[in-house]
Amino acid sequence: MTLLRKILNEGQNIACCDAASLFLIDEISDHERDLVFKLTQNDSMEFPFEEMRFALDESSIAGYVAYTDTELNIPDAYQLPRDVPYEFNRSFDRRTGYRTKSILAIPLANKQKEVIGVLQFINRKKARSLKVSDEKSAMAYTQPFDSDINVLLQALASQAGIAIENTILQNDIKALFEGFVNASVSAIEQRDPTTMGSCHWVMLMVLTFRNGM
């Protein structure tokens, strides 16, 4: 989670934007994938965050970006063209009084150029210290994401995608290794009960050494 927060923080610093969110694709099976709303943060307000998942399709902004591998730069989320397949979910704004205006959503890709998620930046501001708390402040303080900012955020997204994939891979390897050690200890103790307890100490030492590498 530390890595994910650092990515969002750096993105907000680069873009001078009020909020940022991260979505990751979850491969459920060969034919089924979900998009997981993994993390979000907002300079102007605090709110309880709950991880959510939804279908990976073109119906949402993040879903469209992930599904089509296409960046979206939206000047005003409430003024989308009529012919686009996606729509902006206003539920957060209705619930909190916030006003989402400008959005930049960029696909995250791994080393193989496969999309693994989406970085979404919200409400670019004239100054990072400004608070966007309602419709009036959003209209007064926010502006669209320009091309210069886009290039910098694309570079961040490129590095972030690889870093996230590496972290996920490391966690998977660690879980696999720990599972192997646990299974080995159980097998040994079943064959020789006199080793009960000592094997767990050995396992702890192995895992400690492994984590310190």
- pLDDT of residue 205 exceeding 60, the answer is no
- Indicate the average pLDDT of the chain: 83
Instruction: Please report whether residue 150 resides in a domain.
Output: yes
The torsion region of residue 56 among left (phi > 0), alpha (psi -120 to 50) and beta comes to beta
Task: Report the domain count for the chain.
Answer: 1
Residue 111 within a domain? yes
User: In this structure, is residue 178 part of a structural domain?
Assistant: no
- pLDDT tier for residue 172 given thresholds of 50, 70 and 90: very low
Residue 2 token pair: 């530390």
The domain of 50 spans 2-167
Pick from 48, 139, 135, 56: nearest CA to 90: 135
- Regarding beta strands 115-125 and 17-29, do their DSSP bridges make them parallel or antiparallel, or are they unpaired? antiparallel
Q: Is residue 181 part of a domain?
A: no
* Beta-carbon contacts of residue 161 (< 8 Å; ≥ 6 apart): 108, 109, 110, 116, 117
pTM: 0.77
Q: Which DSSP state fits 38?
A: E
Helices (H) and strands (E) in the chain, counts: 6, 7
147: CATH? 3.30.450.40
pLDDT in tens, 115-162: 999 999 999 999 999 999 899 999 999 999 998 888 999 998 888 888
Indicate the SS3 state at residue 172: helix
For residues 120 and 105, is the Cβ–Cβ distance under 8 A? yes
Helix residue ranges per DSSP H, the chain: 2-15, 61-68, 91-96, 135-141, 147-191, 198-212
DSSP 146-165: -HHHHHHHHHHHHHHHHHHH
d(CA 29, CA 169): 17
Q: Tell me if 16 is assigned to some domain.
A: yes
